[in-house]
């Protein structure tokens, strides 16, 4: 009976989540990232059932547990700001002292009278020190409970100088000075070795340069109910399996149902299109064609599995089964101008890469499905980043109507409707020529298999990263990456949980 009730409740919740909000099916709520503003809404909603004092106690307890788990008793200075972040800090001070650790507090600003933080401060009966510079230098651990993710302006110079002197920093919620939405540094931010945040991570935990400041990031449950998320229009997710599902091989499959990938092959730089094709073949595309713009010999000799077109593009596009096209890898701007408009006019789903980003003509990209620039290419087409890269990528997605994959160590996958996935599942091993062409082939395969644009791009970026990880301590070239794609695809079915 209980189980039936539980399943009913779970189904209702899933239904609400899928129906009411801009969110993908099979949503794993662990992957939701909340902006600081959304977190405030969640806090307010949570406070209706659990008093903020209790949430603060839970948050401080969670941080304390993580410290006790990882460190041996040592001298700790807790720097407490004026807001709730500071309130958490006072709780940590009390609980660590209770556990027998030598603790003192440095108060940076005074909590407002009557606030929850003031209540927490009043519970602290231990030592509060004045000469913070000296204590910061002496302390074995400094707990940064100065500001949370919603810092509104640059960090005060005095606070920055203080944090600079700390040897080892543990951050409550986020290292002070990092913008929780954009990951940008507001003046200065310390490099923490452990960051403990609550309920759900914020985009700034994963976006660079903020990500580099987190150390080990742990997200702790502090008894806020998951359903408080459902009232919010979620826009950010961490890119991990569970955000998307990749199609399985089905009994009724045949090669066109699994998906046809077609690639424009340049006449001069032929390696790029071959790498895209190699990736698509290893990803398990139903069939892969290259349409050469010059001599087709090099493509014909490439792989027995590759089909090389002999007919002109105008004829080939008549084949309705060949819906997905890659245009750009290895192409000159002249070759792009000769082919891209034809593909768009024919209503093909085009993944535009590399060669298409040689001009600032945004109009040329309108009608493409997915564009995959790295930062240099992005700026060439869309201009300098004025605010932050997420806003810039969102504007680019709106202008072109395409999903924007802004490649880098924190690749963003941004849909024209504003959805943003942040990928951290990648390493610098991917920084090798042709790696982007490989990614394009992966995206094309997933798009051709029927996945929607944003989900295809998200899954592909994750698998590309996984292929890099599978190269295990070696320095892969793009061909080696492509060779790992079958395994990467298998691994993508494993739903990973965020470590807590
Ligand atoms: N559910 C949860 O997640 C829970 C979260 N909890 C915790 O709450 C934290 C968020 O708390 P918070 O909103 O009070 O923000 P926080 O950063 O502590 O202080 C803001 C204060 O700083 C000030 N201020 C801002 N910028 C400044 C600057 N540059 N220079 C100087 N001052 C500046 C600002 O002043 P104002 O702008 O208002 O004038 C205001 O007084 C969160 O990080 C987590 O630790 C738990 O306790 C409970 C459950
Ligand atoms: N330091 C890094 N960490 C993680 N991923 C990276 C890093 N450097 C590059 N990459 C990834 O490698 C790929 C490089 O693509 P791109 O710059 O287009 O290279 P190419 O044009 O040579 O194929 C992108 O997917 C990018 O996200
Ligand atoms: K902090």
pLDDT of residue 273: 98
List residues bridging with 374 in a β-sheet: 407
Locate the ligand 2 atom nearest the alpha carbon of residue 272 and give its number.
23
Atom of ligand 1 nearest to the CA of 42: 1
Read off the pLDDT of residues 48-89 as tens digits, 9 standing for 90 and up: 999 999 999 999 999 999 999 999 999 999 999 999 999 999
Q: What was the pLDDT predicted at 275?
A: 98
Q: Rounded to an integer, what distance in angstroms lies between the CA atom of residue 169 and that of residue 175? A: 9
Alpha carbon 439 to chain centroid, angstroms? 16
Q: What would the CATH number be for the domain defined by 255-491?
A: 3.40.1190.20
pLDDT for residue 264 is more than 80: yes
Residue 93 in marked binding region? no
Cα distances (angstroms) measured from residue 225 to each of 21, 230, 348: 18, 10, 44
Q: Supply the ipTM of this predicted assembly.
A: 0.88
Phi, psi (deg, nearest 5) at residue 99: -80, 0
| Angstrom distances, CA of residue 364 to CA of 34, 162, 389, 400 | 34, 51, 22, 9
The residues facing 158 across adjacent strands are none
Whole-angstrom distance, CA of residue 126 vs CA of residue 142: 16
Phi first, then psi, for residue 28 (nearest 5°) are -95, 110
439 lines ligand 2 (CB under 6 A): yes
CA-nearest of 80, 392, 54 to 223 is 54
Task: Give the residue-averaged pLDDT of 425-441.
Answer: 96
Task: Give the Cβ contact number of residue 110 at 10 Å.
Answer: 14
Residue 493 pLDDT > 90, yes or no?
no
Distance CA 172, CA 163 (A): 14
- For residue 455, pLDDT beyond 80: yes
> Does any ligand 2 atom lie closer than 6 A to the CB of residue 273?
no
User: What are 127's two structure tokens?
Assistant: 């030592």
* 198: enclosing H helix or E strand: strand 194-198
Rounded distance between C-alpha atoms, residue 96 and residue 379, angstroms: 49
What band does 26 get if pLDDT is binned at 50, 70 and 90?
Answer: very low
User: Which residue ranges does the chain devote to CATH 3.40.50.10260?
Assistant: 29-233
Location of each CATH 3.40.1190.20 domain in the chain: 255-491
**Residues 211-263 pLDDT 10s:** 999 999 999 999 999 988 988 999 999 999 999 999 988 898 999 999 999 99
What CATH number is given for 29-233 in this structure? 3.40.50.10260
Of 409, 435, 463, 478, the one to substitute when testing ligand 2's pocket (max ligand atoms within 8 A of C-beta) is: 435
Q: What is the pLDDT of residue 295?
A: 85
73 lines ligand 2 (CB under 6 A): no
For the record, the structure tokens of 434 come out as: 């042709």
Which of ligand 1's atoms lies nearest the C-alpha of 88?
47
Q: Say yes or no: CB of residue 59 within 6 Å of ligand 1.
A: yes
Task: Return d(Cα 227, Cα 232) in angstroms, integer.
Answer: 10
- Please indicate whether residue 120, judged by its CB atom, sits closer than 6 Å to ligand 1: no
Ligand index nearest the alpha carbon of residue 406: 2
């Amino acid at each position: 009976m209980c189980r039936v009730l539980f399943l009913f409740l779970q189904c209702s919740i899933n239904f609400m989540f899928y129906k009411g909000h801009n969110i993908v099916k099979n949503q794993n709520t662990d992957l939701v990232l909340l902006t600081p503003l959304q977190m405030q809404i969640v806090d307010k909603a949570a406070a209706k059932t659990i008093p903020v004092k209790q949430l603060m106690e839970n948050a401080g307890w969670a941080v304390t547990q993580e410290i006790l788990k990882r460190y041996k008793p040592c001298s700790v200075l807790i720097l407490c700001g004026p807001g709730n972040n500071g309130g958490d800090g006072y709780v940590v001070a009390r609980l660590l002292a209770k556990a027998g650790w030598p603790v003192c507090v440095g108060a940076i600003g005074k909590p407002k009278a009557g606030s929850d933080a003031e209540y927490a401060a009043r519970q602290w009966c231990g030592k509060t020190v004045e000469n913070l510079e000296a204590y910061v230098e002496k302390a074995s651990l400094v707990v940064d409970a100065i500001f949370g993710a919603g810092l509104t302006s640059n960090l005060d110079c005095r606070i920055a100088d203080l944090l600079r002197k700390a040897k080892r920093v543990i951050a409550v919620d986020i290292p002070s000075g990092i913008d929780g939405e954009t990951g940008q540094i507001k003046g200065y931010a310390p490099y923490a070795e452990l960051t403990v945040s609550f309920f759900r991570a914020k985009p700034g935990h994963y976006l660079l340069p903020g990500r580099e400041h987190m150390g080990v990031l742990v997200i702790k449950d502090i008894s806020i109910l998951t359903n408080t998320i459902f009232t919010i229009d979620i826009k950010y997710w961490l890119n991990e399996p569970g955000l998307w599902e990749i199609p399985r091989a089905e009994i009724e499959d045949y090669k066109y149902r699994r998906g046809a990938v077609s690639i424009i092959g340049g006449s001069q730089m032929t390696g790029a299109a071959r790498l895209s094709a190699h990736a698509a073949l290893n990803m398990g595309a139903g069939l892969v064609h290259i349409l050469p713009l010059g001599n087709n010999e090099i493509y014909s000799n490439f792989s027995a599995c590759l089909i090389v077109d002999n007919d002109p593009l105008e004829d080939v596009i008549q084949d309705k089964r060949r819906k997905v096209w890659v245009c750009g890898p290895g192409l000159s701007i002249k070759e792009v101008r000769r082919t891209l408009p034809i593909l768009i006019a024919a209503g093909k789903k085009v993944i535009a890469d590399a060669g298409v980003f040689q001009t600032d003509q945004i109009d040329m990209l309108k009608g493409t499905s997915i564009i995959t620039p790295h930062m240099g290419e992005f700026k060439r087409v869309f201009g300098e980043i004025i605010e932050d890269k997420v806003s810039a990528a969102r504007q680019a997605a709106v202008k072109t109507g395409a999903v924007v994959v802004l490649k880098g160590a924190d690749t963003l996958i941004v849909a024209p409707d504003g959805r943003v996935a942040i990928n951290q599942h990648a390493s610098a091993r991917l920084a090798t020529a042709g790696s982007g062409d490989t990614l394009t082939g992966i995206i094309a395969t997933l798009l051709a298999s029927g996945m929607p644009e944003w989900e295809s791009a998200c899954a592909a970026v994750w698998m590309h990263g996984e292929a890099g990880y599978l190269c295990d301590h070696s320095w892969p070239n793009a061909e080696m990456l492509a060779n790992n794609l079958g395994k990467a695809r298998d691994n993508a079915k494993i739903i990973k949980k965020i470590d807590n």
